[in-house]
C-alpha cells in the first residue's frame, strides 16, 4: 500500500472514529446533566438555601453516598450551612469557611441559625443604629435567627435577643426576608 493510499484510508476511517468520539462526548454530557443538573432540586426546595446541622456529629463526604470517604466531621449542632446542590437523599453543603461536601438530608434541619462575623458586633434592642445595645457578640458566636427585614436581622443568643445588620452575620442572604 502506498503512502497516498494509506492517507486516503486514514481519511475514510476518521469520520467513523470522529462520530464515535462525538457520540461518546454527547452521551457523557447528557449523562452528567441527568445525574447532577436535574438533581439540583430533588426536594422541591430552593437551591441554594441556608439550613443548619441537626446533629452534634455530622460526616461530610466527598460525594453523595455512604460509599464516599469522609472528608471532614462537623461537631457543632446548629451550625448554619448552605445547600448548593441535591442528589437523591444527599445534600451538597458549604460552611462559612468555604468547606464543601455532601451530607445525608437527615443530618440537616430547617431551623435557621447564623454566625457572627467580622469582629465584635453590637446587637441592639430595636432595628435601628440609634437603639440601645442589648448585648455584644464575638465572631463565631452562634444564634437562632428570629427574623430579618431590610438590612436588619434579629438573633437570639443564650436567651438574649438583639438586632444587627445582616452584613454582620453568615447564614442569611443579602435580600432575604426571614420570618
Domain ranges of the chain: 3-38, 42-111, 114-170
Q: Return d(Cα 122, Cα 157) in angstroms, integer.
A: 12
Q: What is the pLDDT of residue 117?
A: 97
pLDDT of 31 above 60: no
Q: How far apart are CA 113 and CA 143, in angstroms?
A: 6
pTM for this entry: 0.76
Q: For the domain bounded by 42-111, which CATH number is listed?
A: 2.30.30.40
Percent of the chain beyond pLDDT 70? 77
Cα–Cα distance, 126 to 154 (Å, whole number): 9
Mean pLDDT of the chain: 85
Residue 86 is placed in which grid cell? 441535591
pLDDT band, very low/low/confident/very high, at 10 (cuts 50, 70, 90): very low
Of the CATH numbers 2.30.30.40, 1.10.3720.10, 2.40.50.140, 3.40.50.300, which one belongs to the domain with range 114-170? 2.30.30.40
Other beta carbons within 10 Å of 146: 16
Q: How confident is the model at residue 59 (pLDDT cuts 50, 70, 90)?
A: very high
Amino acid at each position: 500500500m502506498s503512502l497516498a493510499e494509506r492517507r486516503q484510508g486514514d481519511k475514510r476511517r476518521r469520520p467513523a472514529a470522529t462520530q464515535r468520539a462525538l457520540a461518546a462526548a454527547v452521551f457523557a454530557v447528557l449523562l452528567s446533566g441527568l445525574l447532577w443538573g436535574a438533581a439540583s432540586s430533588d426536594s422541591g426546595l430552593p437551591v441554594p438555601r441556608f439550613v443548619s446541622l441537626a446533629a452534634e456529629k455530622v460526616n461530610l463526604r466527598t460525594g453523595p453516598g455512604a460509599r464516599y470517604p469522609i472528608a471532614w466531621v462537623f461537631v457543632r449542632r446548629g451550625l448554619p450551612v448552605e445547600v448548593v446542590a441535591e442528589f437523591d437523599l444527599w445534600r451538597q453543603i458549604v460552611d462559612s469557611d468555604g468547606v464543601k461536601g455532601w451530607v445525608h438530608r437527615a443530618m440537616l434541619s430547617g431551623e435557621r441559625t447564623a454566625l457572627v462575623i467580622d469582629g465584635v458586633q453590637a446587637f441592639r434592642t430595636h432595628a435601628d443604629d440609634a437603639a440601645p445595645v442589648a448585648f455584644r457578640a464575638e465572631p463565631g458566636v452562634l444564634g437562632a435567627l428570629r427574623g430579618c427585614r431590610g438590612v436588619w436581622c434579629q438573633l437570639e443568643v443564650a436567651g438574649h435577643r438583639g438586632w444587627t445588620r445582616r452584613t454582620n452575620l453568615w447564614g442569611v442572604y443579602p435580600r432575604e426576608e426571614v420570618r
